[in-house]
A and B are shown apart, each in its own frame.
Chain A
């Protein structure tokens, strides 16, 4: 198991290297420099700025410096938010993004799996139809519609919850963002679980258990549950990537100071170094989380790690 984990970890290095290289040279393709302003700036000032950020050196030297910096966890300075380095901005925003992301993921599994099991146990009953209809709506209605509508009804209409701000992570401020973020995943997990359980219940070893006279509750707990949640586990990898994408919107709507907010700000301001650094960080985060999910999967299903 440890060897398998190490092998997988090493295989991330070339992927990450390619992403860094692509991001770096793509940013150099951009027309115009990072210091192009509305009004003309004297040539000496531009030259000084270029020198200060090392932009007067050959591109390959810049690339080498960037790679060397990366090895020390240095993603360079932000061109537009002058007092901050990219790493500082990430360090500030990451706790916020991670807490709402983790909470949303837990909520999605805690609600989605039982709902899916329930729907499958009562296949074609009204619970099944209701759960699947809600699941379809949860997938079709995008989160940037859900977020304002929830804020409008629960925040402003009913006045139960605050609609914006973070207040260093108070639970009341987290409810609406987390629910918004989690809704499509609850829906998806419910659909996955339902389909998976229906399939597992067809397998021969379940029939054997039934023939032995094992009750349906015990079949579910002892035999069917573990294989049923395998597809859910493998969905967690893509889900973390989608959660990070979703948090771009959620942080924007609810005014949360997470990394998604800085990333979008950087993109709007065309802050090259910030966007590049953030993308590299996102890529590393997603690759690592995917690896964790794969390891979890290998632990649940030994056929994978010896395959």
Chain B
């Protein structure tokens, strides 16, 4: 970041810190991240280890037998499974967001800066993809290419960039007639350099805000897919998978549903608060 922009980011940071909901959300998220990384190490059990000493195998949360969140119907420790699932959900979310960020910013900035017929065609393409809900695209991609973890975040990222492209394009369209862009053109810079050096840095604030709002969406996507049995496959697990498995046993073992649901809801809520806070901090004009 150049020195001149320090004050802008500094001011944004000050505004963000004043927003109590956003600060609390950041704290809770940091705590959850730490728990998901350290939690599995604290327990005496492994991810797919069956505790045969239990009878029945499905045990409610208990300090006596060391299963702090209880066990699932196969006697596997839920404390370990929930935190490992959280890790997978967060990992997929971050990677898929990164994929959609790169494609979306590049696509939108190019379309917006070049304008004219190129812009028309590029955005027409986005419109066509928009006709179908994301979820259906991701499901087609999982049908065609299989269901590995890698492909899931690739598939989600590959369709998640549409909104990002639209937002960035709108901003780039406004930027391309500004004086500093004219100056860069006059200096003879090629288009791709202007896009990289002058357009993209100026849309970064909006991009960060939208990326924070994309992360919870992707977590939802992944959970949704896993819930339907199309997402993360055994032996790995994710929050969505755990919720789906818990839903099957909710009559006899409600903790199996409630624990992963609570973690999932907490993550989504906090990310939404943080996203709202960032939007207010980085773009005060909207309010």
Judge if B227 is at the interface, Cβ distance under 8 Å. yes
Which chain B residue has the least Cβ–Cβ distance from A242?
B133
Interface flags, A197-216, vs B, CB<8A=1, else 0: 00000000000000000000
One of B133, B139, B227, B254 near A144 (C-beta < 8 A)? B227
Interface flags, B115-144, vs A, CB<8A=1, else 0: 000000000000110011101100111111
One of B131, B132, B216, B250 near A156 (C-beta < 8 A)? B250
Q: Within the assembled complex, what's the spacing in Å between the Cα atoms of A29 and B128?
A: 20
Tell me which of A31, A147, A241 has the highest count of chain B C-beta atoms within 10 A of its own C-beta: A241
**Interface-located stretch among B73-81, B170-178, B240-248:** B240-248
Asked if A282 contacts B136 (CB within 8 A), the reply is: yes
Judge if A105 is at the interface, Cβ distance under 8 Å. no
Judge if B265 is at the interface, Cβ distance under 8 Å. yes
> Chain B at the A interface: mostly helix, strand, loop or mixed?
helix
Complex interface residues of chain A between 12 and 31 (CB less than 8 A to chain B): 15, 18-19, 23, 26-27, 29-31
Which chain A residue has the least Cβ–Cβ distance from B258?
A149
Complex interface residues of chain B between 206 and 258 (CB less than 8 A to chain A): 216, 220, 223-224, 227-230, 240, 243-244, 246-247, 250-251, 254, 257
CB distance from A103 to the nearest CB of B (A): 20
Asked if B136 contacts A279 (CB within 8 A), the reply is: yes
Asked if B131 contacts A15 (CB within 8 A), the reply is: yes
Judge if A145 is at the interface, Cβ distance under 8 Å. yes
- With A139-B272, A141-B265, A152-B250 known as contacts, the answer to whether A270 contacts B136 (CB < 8 A) is no
Which chain A residue has the least Cβ–Cβ distance from B249?
A148
Complex interface residues of chain A between 257 and 307 (CB less than 8 A to chain B): 263-264, 266-268, 270, 272, 275-276, 279, 282-283, 286-287
One of A156, A249, A264, A266 near B251 (C-beta < 8 A)? A156
Q: How large is the interface on B (under 10, 10 to 19, 20 to 34, 35 or more residues)?
A: 35 or more
Query: Which residues on the A side are within 8 Å of B133 (C-beta)?
Result: 241-242, 244-245, 282, 286
Asked if B143 contacts A142 (CB within 8 A), the reply is: no
Asked if A144 contacts B224 (CB within 8 A), the reply is: yes
Which chain A residue has the least Cβ–Cβ distance from B261?
A145
Asked if A275 contacts B139 (CB within 8 A), the reply is: yes
Q: Within the assembled complex, what's the spacing in Å between the Cα atoms of A266 and B228?
A: 12
Interface flags, B256-270, vs A, CB<8A=1, else 0: 010001001100110
Q: Within the assembled complex, what's the spacing in Å between the Cα atoms of A45 and B128?
A: 40
Q: Within the assembled complex, what's the spacing in Å between the Cα atoms of A147 and B247?
A: 9
CB distance from A190 to the nearest CB of B (A): 16
Asked if B139 contacts A267 (CB within 8 A), the reply is: yes
Asked if A144 contacts B131 (CB within 8 A), the reply is: no
Asked if B128 contacts A30 (CB within 8 A), the reply is: no
Tell me which of B128, B227, B264 has the highest count of chain A C-beta atoms within 10 A of its own C-beta: B227
Q: Within the assembled complex, what's the spacing in Å between the Cα atoms of A248 and B132?
A: 14
Judge if B145 is at the interface, Cβ distance under 8 Å. yes
The interface size of chain A toward B, counting residues with CB under 8 Å, comes to: 45
One of B220, B230, B254 near A142 (C-beta < 8 A)? B220
Asked if A267 contacts B143 (CB within 8 A), the reply is: yes
Asked if A142 contacts B224 (CB within 8 A), the reply is: yes
One of A139, A148, A242, A263 near B257 (C-beta < 8 A)? A148
Which chain A residue has the least Cβ–Cβ distance from B268?
A140
Q: Within the assembled complex, what's the spacing in Å between the Cα atoms of A244 and B146?
A: 23
Q: Within the assembled complex, what's the spacing in Å between the Cα atoms of A145 and B227?
A: 10
CB distance from B25 to the nearest CB of A (A): 11
CB distance from A288 to the nearest CB of B (A): 11
Asked if A283 contacts B132 (CB within 8 A), the reply is: yes
Judge if A62 is at the interface, Cβ distance under 8 Å. no
- With A145-B261, A149-B257, A156-B251 known as contacts, the answer to whether A275 contacts B140 (CB < 8 A) is yes
Query: Which residues on the A side are within 8 Å of B246 (C-beta)?
Result: 148
Judge if A85 is at the interface, Cβ distance under 8 Å. no
Complex interface residues of chain A between 33 and 68 (CB less than 8 A to chain B): none
Asked if B228 contacts A252 (CB within 8 A), the reply is: yes
Query: Which residues on the A side are within 8 Å of B139 (C-beta)?
Result: 263-264, 267, 275
Q: Within the assembled complex, what's the spacing in Å between the Cα atoms of A279 and B128?
A: 14
One of A15, A23, A136, A264 near B230 (C-beta < 8 A)? A264
CB distance from A235 to the nearest CB of B (A): 15
CB distance from A9 to the nearest CB of B (A): 14
One of A242, A267, A282, A286 near B142 (C-beta < 8 A)? A267
One of A144, A266, A283 near B243 (C-beta < 8 A)? A144
Tell me which of A145, A148, A241, A286 has the highest count of chain B C-beta atoms within 10 A of its own C-beta: A145
Q: Within the assembled complex, what's the spacing in Å between the Cα atoms of A1 and B144?
A: 42
Asked if A30 contacts B143 (CB within 8 A), the reply is: yes
Judge if A107 is at the interface, Cβ distance under 8 Å. no
Query: Which residues on the A side are within 8 Å of B140 (C-beta)?
Result: 23, 26, 275-276, 279
- With A26-B144, A30-B145, A286-B131 known as contacts, the answer to whether A253 contacts B230 (CB < 8 A) is no
Q: Within the assembled complex, what's the spacing in Å between the Cα atoms of A19 and B224?
A: 23
Asked if B243 contacts A272 (CB within 8 A), the reply is: no
12 additional contacts (CB under 8 A) given A241-B133, A249-B227, A282-B136: A140-B216, A140-B269, A141-B268, A142-B220, A142-B264, A156-B251, A267-B139, A270-B143, A275-B139, A283-B132, A286-B131, A286-B133
Please give the residue numbers on chain A whose beta carbons come within 8 Å of chain B beta carbons, in ascending order: 15, 18-19, 23, 26-27, 29-31, 136-137, 139-142, 144-145, 147-149, 151-152, 156, 241-242, 244-245, 248-249, 252-253, 263-264, 266-268, 270, 272, 275-276, 279, 282-283, 286-287
Q: Nearest 9 A-B pairs (CB), nearest first?
A: A148-B247, A30-B144, A145-B261, A140-B269, A144-B227, A241-B133, A245-B135, A140-B268, A152-B250
